[in-house]
Amino acid sequence: MHDSPTPHHPPAPSKPMDAIVALCKRRGFIYQASEIYGGLNGFWDYGPLGTLLKRNLREAWWQDVVMLPCWGRPGPDGKPVSILPVDTRIIQHPKVWEASGHVAGFNDPMVDCRLTKQRYRYDHVQVFVPASGDAGDKPLFAYISDQPSEAKQRKKAEKAHGPLSSVLLSSLPQPWARVIAPDADAPGSLTEPRQFNLMFHSFVGATASESDKVYLRPETAQGIFAQAKNVWDTNRVRVPFGIAQAGTSFRNEVTPRNYTFRSREFEQMEVEFFVVPPEHLEGDEPATSSPLDWYRFWRDWRMEWWKSVGLGSDNLQLREHDKDELAHYSQATSDIEYRFPFSAPGFGELEGVAYRGSFDLTQHQKHSGTKLEFRDTARGQTLPNGSRRGVAYVPHVIEPSAGLDRGVLAILCEAYTRDESRPSPELMKFHPRLAPIKAAVFPLIEKDGMPEVALRLHAELSRRFARLGLIETDAKQSIGKRYARMDEAGCPFCFTVDGDTLTAQTVTVRDRDSGAQQRVHLDAVPAFLSDKLGL
């Protein structure tokens, strides 16, 4: 999470995270996983309303990214944006993760210092020892080369031992009782090296030998890259185009924290958008757009999209990465970030949009031995018959990678509203498109024929809208209490059958956010709701 400064945004009034968590439990949005067994660190389940909310957000992404990409808006090349979906497996060939860098980069053993709470990569820790050999009972001084600790420890070590040589910590026998950690001033504080496996693993087959070891994917992206060639070989697509996938990923986080924000099992919604490398654009026909054009297009549209599903406040920001923050293969990356109650005044990442060059496909090409070049028959030299010779290249990629569970959490936080001026202060202001409950129908009182009319209206609305979300009805207790319950669940519209309904064929519709009411003809209710849900 970034504590990025926000010079142009005044700090928003913070919302109490505790109250949001309590509401989410109380109304069945989010439960702790395996709660009856004491819970499991880093895992959260969704209850009925949470499941619907999450499904609605995933569905909104699916509709707007896959089915009608970018709302039908043309890309920077003026043409419709082309996206195809895939659904790849959580478990891939282990070499996929070697190619992606996940195996090498995240299996480093670390040692901790019990005194200073510092953590060091085991293979980076070196130790000054007497050049003569035996140090007797004297302490040994550990350091990290090119860090301040090197000079500091060298000075102390020379004083203690005279001429020095240095060895790796790993060459000394454990426990390192006489070793003084790089930033400590007493010996014996280093823990034994610990492996930090950020990827979960399992075994294929029943014998569970090391050669059968597989990993649970830490991102959905690599399944896309691994199938990119199949997709372009079998689908008559042409670069630029994208492949999209939503699915579950796993990261064995060191410290799961902040409610569902950093869960060990989570769902991603990713696009790998393949574009023509810059070297194939020059003097080329047909003119198309550069990777950076596409990068900016996706970055800006993804920002708009998050606003469109209800994150319109200044709690949402776009943050372009600094040069020194970029991965070595990326020329541009930005994060779409939300100011969560627990991160404020800092922000937490919802989606990263990265221009990754050809890094991923090139890696897979190298590790698999399979050429991952796209044969672009619209480019290259024009032949006498008017066709093109074609060129082959490894496409560059723009990756908009969003966290679904983080999106849900941001929506929950943004929707949570406490208004002390209302009889029931807590309400969830979900965008109607995301609201788990789309509408409720009440009889004002449970007699005089009102329940019958309400049930008929409820049945009709259910027939028309239940595919999108719940349509509720409730006749118990006072009308205020029923409105309040719907407010808390984030239901945007309540239709109430009253005395006038029986004579004038009208009902009241109450707006969740304002509490305002208007009368609508009974027959016009479906059209009213349809309009409000943006259908």
Partner RNA sequence: GCGGGCGUAGCUCAGUGGUAGAGCGUCAGCCUUCCAAGCUGAACGUCGAGGGUUCGAGUCCCUUCGCCCGCUCCA
By the criterion CB under 7 A, which residues form the site for RNA? 1, 17-18, 21-22, 25-26, 32, 38-42, 101-102, 105-106, 112, 114, 117-119, 191, 194, 196, 198-199, 218, 251, 253-259, 262, 327, 342, 422-426, 444-448, 476-481, 483-485, 487-488, 496, 498-500, 507-508, 510, 515-517
Positive or negative torsion for Cα 349, 353, 359, 362: positive
Which CB atom, from 148 or from 499, has the smaller least distance to RNA? 499
Which CB atom, from 261 or from 273, has the smaller least distance to RNA? 261
Least gap, CB of 101 to RNA (angstroms): 6
Which CB atom, from 292 or from 520, has the smaller least distance to RNA? 520
Least gap, CB of 303 to RNA (angstroms): 20
DSSP type of residue 217: -
- The counts of H helices and E strands in the chain are 13, 27
Q: Say how far residue 229 (Cα) sits from the centre of its chain.
A: 26
Angle (nearest 5°) at CA 241 between 321 and 382: 115
List b or e across 11-21, with b for residues whose CB sees 16 or more CB atoms inside 10 angstroms: eeeebebeebb
Angle (nearest 5°) at CA 59 between 53 and 62: 150
Which CB atom, from 26 or from 366, has the smaller least distance to RNA? 26
Least gap, CB of 363 to RNA (angstroms): 11
Pairing of strands 125-130, 140-144: antiparallel
Which CB atom, from 40 or from 160, has the smaller least distance to RNA? 40
Least gap, CB of 109 to RNA (angstroms): 12
Least gap, CB of 108 to RNA (angstroms): 9
Kindly state the helix (H) or strand (E) to which residue 455 belongs, with its residue range: helix 450-465
> What's the rounded Cα separation, in Å, for the pair 349 and 3?
11
Least gap, CB of 422 to RNA (angstroms): 7
Reference 389, options 373, 376, 405, 406; nearest CA is 376
Least gap, CB of 48 to RNA (angstroms): 13
> What's the rounded Cα separation, in Å, for the pair 415 and 307?
13
Which CB atom, from 81 or from 398, has the smaller least distance to RNA? 398
Least gap, CB of 119 to RNA (angstroms): 4
Which CB atom, from 231 or from 479, has the smaller least distance to RNA? 479
Which CB atom, from 28 or from 85, has the smaller least distance to RNA? 28
Which CB atom, from 40 or from 172, has the smaller least distance to RNA? 40
List b or e across 24-36, with b for residues whose CB sees 16 or more CB atoms inside 10 angstroms: beebbbbebbeee
Q: 3-state DSSP call for residue 504? A: helix
Count of CB atoms within 10 A of residue 432's CB?
A: 20
Least gap, CB of 478 to RNA (angstroms): 3
DSSP string, 229-280: HHHHHHS---SSEEEEEEEEEE---SS--TTTTT-SEEEEEEEEEEE--GGG
State the Cα torsion 60-65-69-71 to the nearest 10°.
30
